Amino acid sequence: MAKKDPLLDEITALLAADEEGDDPERLERTLTDGYARALSLEAERRRLMKQIGELTVTAGDGDARSRQELAALIRRMKRQEGDLGLLRAQLGRLRRRHSSIVRSRA
Protein backbone atom coordinates (compact mmCIF):
# COMPACT_ATOMS: atom_id res chain seq x y z
CA MET A 1 0.00 0.00 0.00
CA ALA A 2 2.90 2.32 -0.63
CA LYS A 3 0.88 4.13 -3.32
CA LYS A 4 -1.97 6.45 -2.46
CA ASP A 5 -4.64 4.18 -1.00
CA PRO A 6 -8.23 5.46 -1.02
CA LEU A 7 -9.30 2.99 1.67
CA LEU A 8 -6.57 4.08 4.10
CA ASP A 9 -7.33 7.71 3.24
CA GLU A 10 -11.00 7.09 4.09
CA ILE A 11 -10.09 5.43 7.40
CA THR A 12 -7.70 8.26 8.27
CA ALA A 13 -10.36 10.87 7.46
CA LEU A 14 -12.94 9.08 9.58
CA LEU A 15 -10.56 8.82 12.51
CA ALA A 16 -9.60 12.51 12.23
CA ALA A 17 -13.21 13.72 12.08
CA ASP A 18 -15.22 14.90 15.05
CA GLU A 19 -17.17 11.97 16.54
CA GLU A 20 -20.36 14.04 16.69
CA GLY A 21 -20.61 14.04 12.89
CA ASP A 22 -19.85 10.35 12.44
CA ASP A 23 -22.25 8.26 10.41
CA PRO A 24 -22.29 4.74 11.91
CA GLU A 25 -23.32 3.26 8.55
CA ARG A 26 -20.36 4.90 6.80
CA LEU A 27 -18.04 3.60 9.52
CA GLU A 28 -19.54 0.13 9.12
CA ARG A 29 -19.12 0.17 5.31
CA THR A 30 -15.52 1.29 5.68
CA LEU A 31 -14.85 -1.40 8.27
CA THR A 32 -16.36 -4.02 5.95
CA ASP A 33 -14.21 -2.82 3.05
CA GLY A 34 -11.17 -2.83 5.31
CA TYR A 35 -11.79 -6.35 6.58
CA ALA A 36 -12.25 -7.55 2.99
CA ARG A 37 -8.91 -5.94 2.08
CA ALA A 38 -7.24 -7.57 5.09
CA LEU A 39 -8.54 -10.99 4.05
CA SER A 40 -7.26 -10.40 0.53
CA LEU A 41 -3.82 -9.42 1.83
CA GLU A 42 -3.73 -12.49 4.08
CA ALA A 43 -4.62 -14.75 1.13
CA GLU A 44 -1.91 -13.16 -1.00
CA ARG A 45 0.57 -13.61 1.86
CA ARG A 46 -0.27 -17.33 2.03
CA ARG A 47 0.23 -17.65 -1.74
CA LEU A 48 3.58 -15.89 -1.47
CA MET A 49 4.65 -18.15 1.39
CA LYS A 50 3.77 -21.20 -0.70
CA GLN A 51 5.76 -19.87 -3.65
CA ILE A 52 8.69 -19.08 -1.37
CA GLY A 53 8.62 -22.62 -0.01
CA GLU A 54 8.63 -24.10 -3.51
CA LEU A 55 11.42 -21.82 -4.72
CA THR A 56 13.55 -22.50 -1.67
CA VAL A 57 14.14 -26.03 -2.96
CA THR A 58 15.21 -24.80 -6.40
CA ALA A 59 17.30 -21.94 -5.04
CA GLY A 60 19.06 -24.36 -2.74
CA ASP A 61 20.25 -26.26 -5.80
CA GLY A 62 22.21 -23.19 -6.92
CA ASP A 63 19.79 -21.84 -9.55
CA ALA A 64 20.62 -18.10 -9.75
CA ARG A 65 17.30 -17.21 -11.38
CA SER A 66 15.40 -18.98 -8.60
CA ARG A 67 17.44 -17.14 -5.96
CA GLN A 68 16.58 -13.79 -7.55
CA GLU A 69 12.91 -14.68 -7.77
CA LEU A 70 12.98 -15.89 -4.17
CA ALA A 71 14.50 -12.61 -3.00
CA ALA A 72 11.81 -10.65 -4.89
CA LEU A 73 9.06 -12.77 -3.34
CA ILE A 74 10.46 -12.28 0.14
CA ARG A 75 10.57 -8.49 -0.38
CA ARG A 76 6.99 -8.57 -1.65
CA MET A 77 5.86 -10.62 1.34
CA LYS A 78 7.54 -8.19 3.76
CA ARG A 79 5.70 -5.29 2.09
CA GLN A 80 2.45 -7.26 2.39
CA GLU A 81 3.10 -7.85 6.08
CA GLY A 82 3.74 -4.14 6.62
CA ASP A 83 0.60 -3.20 4.70
CA LEU A 84 -1.45 -5.73 6.62
CA GLY A 85 -0.09 -4.56 9.97
CA LEU A 86 -0.92 -0.94 9.18
CA LEU A 87 -4.38 -1.83 7.94
CA ARG A 88 -5.13 -3.96 11.01
CA ALA A 89 -4.02 -1.17 13.34
CA GLN A 90 -6.20 1.40 11.58
CA LEU A 91 -9.17 -0.99 11.48
CA GLY A 92 -8.79 -1.61 15.21
CA ARG A 93 -8.96 2.11 15.89
CA LEU A 94 -11.94 2.51 13.58
CA ARG A 95 -13.75 -0.45 15.14
CA ARG A 96 -13.31 1.05 18.62
CA ARG A 97 -14.59 4.38 17.32
CA HIS A 98 -17.61 2.72 15.74
CA SER A 99 -18.38 0.81 18.95
CA SER A 100 -18.11 3.99 20.98
CA ILE A 101 -20.48 5.85 18.70
CA VAL A 102 -23.02 3.05 18.61
CA ARG A 103 -22.96 2.81 22.42
CA SER A 104 -23.32 6.56 22.87
CA ARG A 105 -26.31 6.71 20.52
CA ALA A 106 -28.12 3.74 22.05
Residues 76-94: tens digit of each pLDDT: 999 999 999 999 999 999 9
Query: pTM of the prediction?
Result: 0.84
Smallest CA-to-CA distance from 81 within 58, 49, 59, 34 is with 49
What domains sit in the chain, N to C, each tagged with a CATH number?
24-104 (1.10.287)
Q: For residue 29, what are the contacts with CB-CB under 8 A and spacing of at least 6?
A: none
Question: pLDDT digit string (tens) for 92-101?
Answer: 999 999 998 8
Contact present, 73 and 45 (Cβ < 8 Å): no
pLDDT of residue 1: 46
pLDDT of residue 21: 77
DSSP 20: G
pLDDT of residue 80: 92
